[in-house]
Amino acid sequence: MNLIISVLKKEDLHNQKIIETIQKNINQVEIIYAEDMSIKGCIGCNRCWLVTPGVCTIKDDYEKLLIKYLQSKQVIFITDLKLGFVSYQLKNIIDRILPLATMNLRFKNGQMRHYPRYKKHLKMGLIYKGNGNPKFLEKWFERVMINLDGTSIGTYHIENEEEILNALIHC
């Protein structure tokens, strides 16, 4: 299964167009709209590491996303940019991925990294709408994926349909 998580409104025309394009060209796509979920921000309590390993202490709809990450071949986030960076809704979603890692650390490629909690190798990508620095967004998302011991599929402007499809098909 391929998972798309969109923080754009369902009626956003750019959102509708890219999702329709992906669904026409990629098999087994599940779409989740953040507007249909209650997802609170991470409070940094570390309980998902220390008290309830792998389970966030915040009881909202996020647990469903954690399970879907582990069941998916690849995950694509769709967001708008605010002040050149991802929206607060997507930042909340990314921050809440923490239970997929453990508190234990190791050196990997000369950098200190958390051990992943599961053997699943995550493949995630970012589609954005708006103006921002593409190189900065790419580097930031690559760093997110390094922290998750995963692979970045890349970051793409929402209007670059051909690049997006190419990345998803050849991932």
> Which residues fall within 8 angstroms of residue 39, CB to CB, at 6 or more apart?
60, 61, 62, 65, 89, 92, 93, 96
Cα angle value 14/20/26 (rounded, 5°) = 130
29 with 2: CB under 8 angstroms? yes
Amino acid occupying residue 160? N
Q: What integer pLDDT is reported at residue 142 of this predicted model?
A: 95
Average pLDDT (13-19) is: 94
Q: Which two tokens stand for residue 114?
A: 């958390």
pLDDT in tens, 61-95: 999 999 999 999 999 999 999 999 999 999 999 99
Q: How far apart are CA 18 and CA 40, in angstroms?
A: 26
How far apart, in whole angstroms, are the C-alpha atoms of residue 75 and residue 4? 6
Q: For residue 126, is pLDDT > 90? A: yes
Q: For the chain, give the percent of residues with pLDDT over 90.
A: 92
Residues 63, 37 contacting (CB under 8 angstroms): no
Average pLDDT, the chain: 95
2-6/85-86 β-pairing: unpaired
pLDDT score, position 129: 97
Q: How confident is the model at residue 108 (pLDDT cuts 50, 70, 90)?
A: confident
Q: Is the pTM above the cut of 0.85?
A: yes
> Residue 109: pLDDT above 90?
no
DSSP-assigned letters across all residues of 68-102 = HHHH-SEEEEEEEEETTEE-HHHHHHHHTTGGGEE
Block residue for tokens 């202490």? 57
From the CA atom positions of the chain, what is the Rg in Å?
16
pLDDT at 171: 80
**Residue 118, Cβ density class (10 Å: 0-12 exposed, 13-18 middle, ≥19 buried):** middle
* Structure tokens that stand for 129 in this block: 């709408």
